Chain A
């Protein structure tokens, strides 16, 4: 079945870096746009980045632009989010989510992973 599994979360100090990963299975990963979405404790969801199926189209939310880098390895069926210059307000559960149709950037997400917690604290 279609599955997304995030990993790599943990505790990091302000100003530090962390890379989270998303392992995809059950579908042809290379044909889908992928996104990262996060949820800070007690807050709503926030879309932070998407990447096209081939990796040549990328977009970021203003809140992470210049600090976070999305990438993918289609041979490894994996999505990544490199997070640099981390701040306390980046503390959140980070979800990866797939576009619902092949090749298309649609404005909804299906499916999602279960998330990985990133805590930024000294």
Chain B
């Protein structure tokens, strides 16, 4: 069982917006603004799309955005496109000993 809880799947039609939640505890998500999100097309290398909660690396579409409320972080994909179909993982800093914890992943399907 993963330390962070994500829905197993989320789907949407092209052009729609979807949101993926990532629920942790006051020891990880709730205690730090240090959540990152990764997009993973099976068989390929995972790619960071959000870091430090809300920041996008260069080259990542502004259709991806991150937010947080309490112990839950969220990733929103707006203007859903076929190429967004992938698995998405959240990750949170959890202190110097544990370092980081990940979520179980969410499969995004574009209908």
Residues on A facing B (Cβ under 8 Å): 4, 37, 43-47, 50, 59, 61, 95, 97, 100, 107-115
- Tell me which of A44, A50, A113, A115 contacts B89 (CB under 8 A): A44
Complex interface residues of chain B between 77 and 111 (CB less than 8 A to chain A)? 89, 91-93, 97-105
Q: Are A43 and B45 in contact (CB under 8 A)?
A: no
Q: What residues of B have a CB within 8 angstroms of the CB of A44 in the complex?
A: 2, 4, 6, 89, 102-105
Count A/B pairs, Cβ under 8 Å: 70
Tell me whether B48 and A110 are in contact (CB under 8 A). Answer: yes
**In chain A, what residue has the closest Cβ to B36?**
A108
Chain A residues whose C-beta falls within 8 Å of the C-beta of B46 in the assembled complex:
45, 95, 97, 109, 112
Given A107-B36, A107-B99, A108-B36, check contact A45 B91 (CB 8 Å). Answer: yes
Nearest-neighbour CB distance to chain B for A83, whole angstroms, equals: 19
Q: What are 29 A-B residue pairs whose CB atoms fall within 8 Å in the complex? A: A4-B45, A37-B102, A43-B2, A44-B4, A44-B6, A45-B38, A45-B46, A45-B89, A45-B91, A45-B103, A46-B102, A47-B91, A47-B100, A47-B101, A47-B102, A107-B36, A107-B100, A108-B34, A108-B48, A108-B52, A108-B91, A109-B36, A109-B38, A110-B48, A111-B45, A112-B38, A112-B46, A112-B47, A115-B45
Instruction: Name the CB-closest residue of B to A62.
Output: B98
With A44-B105, A108-B48, A108-B51 already in contact, 16 other A-B pairs whose C-beta atoms are closer than 8 Å: A44-B2, A44-B4, A44-B89, A45-B46, A45-B91, A46-B102, A50-B99, A100-B57, A107-B91, A109-B36, A109-B46, A109-B48, A110-B47, A110-B51, A110-B57, A114-B44
List of A residues within 8 angstroms of B98 by Cβ? 61
Q: How far is the CA of A111 from the CA of B48 in the complex (A)?
A: 8
CB distance from A51 to the nearest CB of B (A): 12
